Amino acid sequence: MTTKDSEAFEIEIDFSIHGQQLKTGLIGDGLAIWLTDKHLQRGDVFGMQSDYNGLGIFIDTYRNGQRIKGQHKNFPYVSIQPNNGQYGKYDKNTDGAASEIGGCSLHRVYNMRSGDGLSRLRIYYIKKTNYLSIDFDVSGTGKEFQNCFTSENNNNINLPSNPYLGLSAETGDLYHQVDIFKIKATSLKDATSGESIESIDKIIDLVESDRSSGIENDGSNSANKDNSNEDINERRRRRINRRNQRVEGRKSKSHQKRVTKRLKEMNENSFGDERGPIGWIINKLWIALKFTFYISLFSVFGYIVYVGLRVYKDNKRKNNTRGLL
Q: Is the dihedral of CA 17, 20, 23, 27 positive or negative?
A: negative
| pLDDT attached to residue 324 | 47
Q: 56: Cβ–Cβ under 8 A, 6 or more apart, which residues?
A: 32, 33, 34, 35, 36, 45, 46, 80, 81, 82, 83, 90
Mark the ranges of the chain whose per-residue pLDDT is less than 70: 20-28, 66-72, 111-116, 172-174, 203-259, 320-325
Q: CA-CA distance, 127 to 55, in Å (whole number)?
A: 13
- Integer distance in angstroms from the first to the last C-alpha of the chain? 126
Tens of pLDDT, residue by residue over 199-223, are 777 766 666 665 555 544 444 444 4
What strand order describes the sheet that includes 53-60? 102-105, 77-84, 53-60, 30-36, 164-170
Cis peptide before 163 (omega within 30 of 0): no
Cβ–Cβ < 8 Å for 147, 54:
no
| pLDDT attached to residue 27 | 63
| pLDDT attached to residue 264 | 76
The size of the chain, in residues, is 325
Cβ–Cβ < 8 Å for 109, 17:
yes
CB crowding 193-226: b at 16 or more within 10 Å, else e: eeebbbebebbeebeeeeeeeeeeeeeeeeeeee
Please tell me the pTM assigned to this model.
0.61
| pLDDT attached to residue 236 | 57
Q: What angle is formed at CA 274 by the lines to CA 262 and CA 97, rounded to 5 degrees?
A: 50
| pLDDT attached to residue 138 | 87
